[in-house]
Structure 1
Amino acid sequence: MREGRLRRRRARGLYLSVLLKRQDPSTEITVYERNPEGSTYGWGVTYWRGLLDKLHAHDPESARAVEEHSVRWHDGVAHVRELTTRHHGDEGFGIGRHRLLRILTERARALGVRIEFAHEMEVGALPADADLVVAGDGLHSALRTDAADHFGTEVRAGRNHYTWLGTTKVFDAFHFAFVETEHGWVWCYAYGYGAEGSTCVVECAPETWSGLGLDRADEADGLALLEGLFADLLDGHRLIGRSATDGRPQWLTFRTLTNQRWYRDNVVLLGDAAHTTHYSIGAGTTLALEDAIALADALRAHPDLPGALAAYEQERKSALLPVQSAARYSAQWYENLPRYLALPPHRMFALLGQRHSPLLPHIPPQLYYGLDKAVGRLTALRRLKRWLGPKVARAAHTRAVAPR
């Protein structure tokens, strides 16, 4: 069996090739990558313990390397104007994108996968002898675009503008910083990915973007402006933009992509070619790798290719429904950010954690916060009663039967 795959961000394709080689070492796999080896866009990616557990279950060797080269945090920190609040939460991880790709490339090669870098695969030049072609070439997938009507592709543009930056400052927690300007609010998400630095995603409303002149500024002037706005967060460290040689704009609006169908004949979509979820929930890498796991499992479980691809599509579309809903409400929360920033920082941060709720946009923030606290206390009381219940019952029974 021979499989060609097209990708833009290649982690998911490399990981799929690793899984398929582990399932059947005789499988012939070629990975086609349009970029030169060692090049990628972005600084770090985030993931959570649940993904790491899945990686250990499916390929312990690459999972150990990923975990070894990741940084981790348990706290979230919110900066609102001059005030700061810190919350303890679940364990999160960050790893450099270059490091992750290097780990998966080396692992795939060790298993016998053929990797062709700097190879732009045209739609009309697909390998004729391929049993399966996996299109993991991102939001602008050439294979998917060529048959957009069949796949039922829909793309919805978000309202806010954002830019993906790096910084030399290494953060020990996941930071949110909200800065008020005369043209509105600007905010960033910042997290470490290694000893060399952190990722900073900066976002703002379109009127703020244009009011600050970011729509007209070149990269150097734009970075200088943002460094001034986030000076307290950066502690004198600089922001780093990506090279402008790729011709892509510095600022983007997020595109939410969905597809009614994920495969056609022997072509199947993977990762961002099949779906995107807003970056504010930090699930992009996790979902792409989970796609690879589900596709490999389906190919192993079903002897016929149509049955395997149908099972893969059904499983992943079902799994994505709650994630896509959460991402949609999260994006809307940030698009309506001024609604929440009048609260004290610790209350705003609490509602930041509740931004996936479909009820939050329809209830006054202060009231929602009070209701959420009351529900939390009630839930804790119920848990305490469940925990004490058997013990109290046993104690009462002991007293009833004890000899006098």
Structure 2
Amino acid sequence: MRIVCVGGGPAGLYFAISAKLRGAGHEITVIERDPPEATYGWGVVYWNDLLDIMHHNDPESARAVSAGSVLWQDQEIRLHGSRHDGTAYFGGYGYSMGRAALLEILTRRAQALGVDVRHGEKLDDPADLPEADIVVAADGAGSRIRQSRAERFGTEVDTGRNPYIWLGTDRQFESFVFDFEETPAGWIWFHAYPSIKGKISTCIVECSPQTWRGLGLDTLDPEDAVPLLEKIFHRALDGHNLISRSRGEPARWQRFSHLSNRTWVDGNVVLAGDAAHTTHFTLGSGTRLAMIDAIVLAHSLSQYPDPQVALREYDQHRRAELQPIQAAARTSMSWFEQLDDYLDRDPVSFAYAMSVRHGNQSSWRHRVHLATQIAAVRRARRAYESGKRWYEDRSRARGATAPAGTVTSRTAVEGHTRGTPEDPRTINSP
């Protein structure tokens, strides 16, 4: 089968890898407009369940991703304002990696399997798609292929209210940090996590439109706004710098676009990753969901001899799985857009409201949250989680994984239903 993937991000590259593992005879080409090692953004974040899924699907690329991952432990919620000033905590741990490093690993693995990865090729006209049995549109939220067929895909885009900007910082955080700062114009906050060990952390700054205008950020050039943001967050950054430029281009203020489609298939063209769906960055699930799309699509093509049947099954099954996740993403985005309703609370109460923003409040969840504020409890939990990670790493090293073709979409999404209120998946994912 001749397959062309438009877009060399996690969805396109990991689909190419997954499809080749299930059908070495496939002729797969990945077309990426950017040159090698050039990518927007800083880091991606994920949890053990994605590493487990990758080890089941392709142990070789999984080992490389595991080796390049940065571990962060606990989550800190720092609240600095006129009424309250302090820090609350969530337990759990996660991993992160520079986006460029992840794409380099996936590119090398795809090429080793015989995938033709072409960098620096632009598809100027979506009508000029290469001849192929299947075209995978994995060209991001701004997919030109999807936009050219928006009516047939049934595309809907809702734009969020809060401005945000995706920055880096040379402060190396060791945990996932939410820092909320009160200014004369209103509250502004960031979400930060380590990305490149010992060098760079990702730092996403967000605020309400009123604060954005009140601080003059609506009139400042984004690069000129960086010194002001460094001043506002001087305490959290501990004197370190914010970094605007990624691959030579400055970061820009954006408003999140929540994207969905009535169908992901039009003829022989199929959507994957952000081209098919977006989830708000407060869930931290974009890369994970894109790579699961890739596995499910490859699995479907290996299960059904008729490509049209395979695409239809992928479309129906995967869209159904994404509906509750996207609903949770909307809830999360809305919670941060109404943050003023919660900022009069003390840090521990505020953090609890954040942890249950998807619902499921209960007395035992609140008791666990209160216990997590005790340093000795956090130390004990970290010790337990360290032992658990050691055991899981040894299990993976022994090759206790299933053959690539056995990974199903249901296996891939089970992680969304597990966890406790202090598990980071309940904070940054559904």
TM-score normalised by the chain length of structure 2: 0.81
Matched, 1:26 2:25: yes
Letter paired with 1:53: D
Letter paired with 2:211: T
Q: Residue in 1 aligned with 2:210?
A: 207
Q: Aligned-residue CA RMSD in angstroms?
A: 1.8
Matched, 1:232 2:204: no
TM superposition outliers: structure 1 runs of 4+ over 4 Å: 243-246, 374-378
Compared with structure 1, are the counterparts of its residues 86 and 68 closer, same or farther at alpha carbon in structure 2 (3 Å cutoff)?
farther
- Structure 1 residue 116, shift from structure 2 partner: 0.8
CA contact (8 A) 1:294 1:315 kept: no
1:130-177: CA deviation from partner (whole Å, max 9, x where unpaired): 111000111121111111111000000000000000000111100000
Q: How does 1:5-404 map to 2 (within 5 A)?
A: 5-7=5-7, 10-81=9-80, 83-121=85-123, 122-128=125-131, 130-195=132-197, 196-242=199-245, 250-357=252-359, 372-373=362-363
- Structure 1 residue 306, shift from structure 2 partner: 1.3
Letter paired with 2:23: D
Whole-angstrom CA distance in 2 between matches of 1:220 and 1:249: 8
Higher relative contact order (CA 8 A, sep 6+): 2
Letter paired with 1:37: P
Whole-angstrom CA distance in 1 between matches of 2:257 and 2:88: 31
Compared with structure 1, are the counterparts of its residues 20 and 374 closer, same or farther at alpha carbon in structure 2 (3 Å cutoff)?
closer
CA contact (8 A) 1:77 1:175 kept: yes
- Structure 1 residue 244, shift from structure 2 partner: 9.1
Compared with structure 1, are the counterparts of its residues 265 and 204 closer, same or farther at alpha carbon in structure 2 (3 Å cutoff)?
same
Whole-angstrom CA distance in 2 between matches of 1:62 and 1:89: 28
Whole-angstrom CA distance in 2 between matches of 1:305 and 1:124: 21
Compared with structure 1, are the counterparts of its residues 243 and 376 closer, same or farther at alpha carbon in structure 2 (3 Å cutoff)?
closer
Whole-angstrom CA distance in 2 between matches of 1:291 and 1:256: 17
Whole-angstrom CA distance in 1 between matches of 2:260 and 2:128: 26
Q: Residue in 1 aligned with 2:409?
A: none
Whole-angstrom CA distance in 2 between matches of 1:109 and 1:120: 20
CA contact (8 A) 2:79 2:86 kept: yes
TM-score normalised by the chain length of structure 1: 0.86
Whole-angstrom CA distance in 2 between matches of 1:65 and 1:277: 26
Compared with structure 1, are the counterparts of its residues 374 and 14 closer, same or farther at alpha carbon in structure 2 (3 Å cutoff)?
closer
Task: State which structure, 1 or 2, has the greater radius of gyration over its C-alpha atoms.
Answer: 1
Q: Secondary structure at the match of 1:101?
A: helix
Q: Secondary structure at the match of 1:161?
A: strand
Number of aligned residue pairs: 363
Whole-angstrom CA distance in 2 between matches of 1:148 and 1:165: 31
Q: Secondary structure at the match of 2:127?
A: helix
Letter paired with 1:61: E
1:330-350: CA deviation from partner (whole Å, max 9, x where unpaired): 111111111111111011111
- Structure 1 residue 60, shift from structure 2 partner: 0.4
Unaligned runs of 5+ in 2: 369-430
- Structure 1 residue 194, shift from structure 2 partner: 2.2
- Structure 1 residue 4, shift from structure 2 partner: 1.0
Letter paired with 1:114: D
Q: Residue in 2 aligned with 1:389?
A: none
Q: Secondary structure at the match of 1:285?
A: helix
Whole-angstrom CA distance in 1 between matches of 2:73 and 2:251: 34
CA contact (8 A) 1:74 1:88 kept: no
